[in-house]
Structure 1
Amino acid sequence: MRAMTYSAFGGPEVLSETRQPRPRFGPGEILVRVRRAAVNPVDWKIMAGGLEGLMDTVFPVIPGWDVAGVVEQVGIDVPEFAVGDEVVAYARKDYVHGGTFAEFVTVPVRALARRPASLTWDQAAGLPLVGLTAYQVLKRLGTGPGDTVLVHGAAGGVGSLGVQIARALGARVIGTASPANHDRLRELGAEPTAYGEGVVERVRKLAPDGVDVVADFVGGVLDTTLAVLREGGRHASIADHSVVGAGGQWMWVRPNGDDLAELGSLADAGKLTVPVARVFPLEELADAFALSQSGHVHGKVVVAV
């Protein structure tokens, strides 16, 4: 099969198109023919060696954890899906090796969900990692009706999904972003405010009694969180482990097909959408990574296989 691979840590220049064996799949796994795969910053951070102390790496590596595709074959212990089903997954494995920037990828059934009918292939590929991250943070914090939620980094990939999910859970949402993104946040249902100097006063003006929940998707904002969080409030971060010492939770996303199906239901109900910035062909993955690294992209970067 065609695949984009790297055999040493580095930048986009270490990527090349190669031929790899079609992956084998176990009894509880599914072989997915990839239609689309989405780029996330973790992909190129792993490629640079950033998670070497956390996860084992087996070279050559096919990067990528987000996938939307069609079931090609099913394991003998997978009655939930059939050949031809359209599916999505956050296909992270327990070690770094066989990812989604290839013609085929294996996915454990526990990580798989059906493709939301309301999302295009491009949008569907961009949903799993960012959607699950936001959803799992907000659910673990017990977000629900009556809560006022502050989302740090509300215009980012995870943050923009977090705004929509919090609203779908019945919460009021305040989101920090640069002024250029405030209209977009209003469209998503948030009350925008600028980050930086004076942000505590601006949030307090919107929520004089403090906020109930803070979801930090950028890091480096713990002082702001604690300054606006009401007594008894809950907070978590995906980017700053120091929140644990301040009564918060530090979280990393977990593959979960049931959670992903819930996100699909929100999308099909018109409560969740995934912005797509640009689509690249598979052989231009290095350019897709470079665009993601630039930080000057609003929406998901997707690869068509």
Structure 2
Amino acid sequence: MRAVIVRSFGGPEVLEVVEVPVPEPGSGQVRIRVAAAAVNPVDVQTRSGALTAGGLLPARQVIGIGWDVAGTVDALGPRTTGFRRGDAVLGLSDRLALPLKAQAEYVVLDADAVAAVPAGSDLVAAATLPLGGLTAAQALDIAAAGPGDTLLVTGAAGAVGGYTVQLAAAAGVRVVAVADVGDEELVRDLGAEFFVPRTADLPAAVRGLVPGGVHTAVDAASVGMLALDAVRGGGALVSVRGNAPTPLRGIRVRNVWIRADGPRLAELAAAGLRPRVADVLPLDKVAEAHHTLAAGGLRGRLVLVP
């Protein structure tokens, strides 16, 4: 089968599509015939060596690429229950130091990292949900905003930010969305009550809309202290990118470290969230996908199809 790997760090040119044996599922695992695999910023950080430089990814001779996957169950390992061959599924490959990951023709995942796809779902669209949707859901768990509370979401037009807006609004949370001016209609349609252009003086603009500051914030755009300054004393801020600011004014500050969660993913898949696909490319165009992602300006995820 074909799979995307890196043997050395650098630009998109270090990405290789190689022929490797089809992996076999072990106990409690499923093998998925990949229909679609999304390209995420973490793939760029893996390929460039940023994760290794940051101490998150041990050096390996071969490193697989890809977290998000949708496809069909192809084989079951011993003592694996809950799935049958031919089931349409989506899943998350959340371990970093693996020689094979989701950007491949087949991938093996632990069964508890996999969820059924609702009947009739588009597998290309489904492949954009696992990483972004679970990050948003787990960030909101940490933020613990309740109905009627106010929540600031930076990067609200992005994948994680967009899912955060949708999930929070559905729970009765009043969302203040930060995005480009041209994205105001989009984020309001996703459920945001308030809008702040990302070029504005963020703390002043937010406090003008919500006197005293918001109760909580999910910082998906990594603006750090500016987002913290928009939160009221004793509130909470969750950083998506692992660089949480100093917890001033008694604000509870946490990073969200994504983990695979099949049952939660099943809930998200059935929740009617709006996925966004920026473009679909064949697997062997993975380097082109990385160039496009680096150029910025995408609204939605790039998806590779084997």
Decide: shared fold, TM above 0.5: yes
Deviation, structure 1 residue 231:
3.1
Deviation, structure 1 residue 260:
0.8
> 1:136 is matched by which residue type in structure 2?
Q
Residue of structure 1 in register with 2:187 after alignment = 185
Distance in 2 (CA, whole Å) between partners of 1:140 and 1:295 is: 29
Distance in 1 (CA, whole Å) between partners of 2:50 and 2:131 is: 18
Taking the TM superposition and a 5 Å limit, the aligned residue runs for 1:11-160 are 11-52=11-52, 53-93=55-95, 95-117=97-119, 119-160=121-162
Deviation, structure 1 residue 209:
3.5
Deviation, structure 1 residue 266:
1.1
CA contact (8 A) 1:236 1:243 kept: no
Instruction: String of CA shifts for 1:119-145, please: whole Å, max 9, x gaps.
Output: 411110000001111110001221231
Distance in 1 (CA, whole Å) between partners of 2:118 and 2:233 is: 39
Distance in 1 (CA, whole Å) between partners of 2:233 and 2:14 is: 49
> 2:152 is matched by which residue type in structure 1?
L
Mapped pair 1:212 → 2:207: no
Distance in 2 (CA, whole Å) between partners of 1:165 and 1:118 is: 22
Distance in 1 (CA, whole Å) between partners of 2:172 and 2:120 is: 22
> 2:13 is matched by which residue type in structure 1?
E
Q: Structure 1 residues 118, 202: CA separation in 2 closer, same or farther (over 3 Å shift)?
A: farther
Q: Structure 1 residues 233, 99: CA separation in 2 closer, same or farther (over 3 Å shift)?
A: same
Deviation, structure 1 residue 94:
5.2
Deviation, structure 1 residue 104:
0.5
Mapped pair 1:249 → 2:266: no
Deviation, structure 1 residue 292:
1.0
> 2:232 is matched by which residue type in structure 1?
R
Q: Percent same amino acid at aligned positions?
A: 37
CA contact (8 A) 1:143 1:169 kept: no
Unmatched 5+ residue regions in structure 1? none
Unmatched 5+ residue regions in structure 2? none
Pairing partner for 2:240 from 238, 247, 268: 238
244-253 or 157-166, larger mean C-alpha shift: 244-253
> 2:130 is matched by which residue type in structure 1?
P
Q: Structure 1 residues 220, 12: CA separation in 2 closer, same or farther (over 3 Å shift)?
A: same
Q: Structure 1 residues 6, 227: CA separation in 2 closer, same or farther (over 3 Å shift)?
A: closer
Distance in 1 (CA, whole Å) between partners of 2:34 and 2:19 is: 15
CA contact (8 A) 2:277 2:300 kept: yes
Distance in 2 (CA, whole Å) between partners of 1:120 and 1:6 is: 29
CA contact (8 A) 1:132 1:259 kept: yes
Distance in 2 (CA, whole Å) between partners of 1:81 and 1:58 is: 32
Distance in 1 (CA, whole Å) between partners of 2:108 and 2:25 is: 6
Residue of structure 2 in register with 1:291 after alignment = 292
SS at match of 1:24: coil
SS at match of 2:291: helix
What is the TM-score normalised by the length of structure 1?
0.93
Deviation, structure 1 residue 57:
4.4
Residue of structure 1 in register with 2:268 after alignment = 263
> 1:219 is matched by which residue type in structure 2?
S
> 2:259 is matched by which residue type in structure 1?
R
- What RMSD in Å do the two structures reach over aligned CA positions? 1.6
Deviation, structure 1 residue 117:
3.6
Q: Structure 1 residues 34, 7: CA separation in 2 closer, same or farther (over 3 Å shift)?
A: same
Number of aligned residue pairs: give it.
Answer: 300
> 2:31 is matched by which residue type in structure 1?
L
Deviation, structure 1 residue 195:
2.1
What is the TM-score normalised by the length of structure 2?
0.93
Deviation, structure 1 residue 252:
1.8
Mapped pair 1:10 → 2:13: no
> 2:243 is matched by which residue type in structure 1?
H
Deviation, structure 1 residue 215:
0.5
Distance in 1 (CA, whole Å) between partners of 2:42 and 2:293 is: 10
Q: Structure 1 residues 117, 89: CA separation in 2 closer, same or farther (over 3 Å shift)?
A: same
Q: Structure 1 residues 28, 94: CA separation in 2 closer, same or farther (over 3 Å shift)?
A: farther
Instruction: String of CA shifts for 1:197-236, please: whole Å, max 9, x gaps.
Output: 42222212221142111000121332x3333222332211
Distance in 1 (CA, whole Å) between partners of 2:245 and 2:238 is: 7
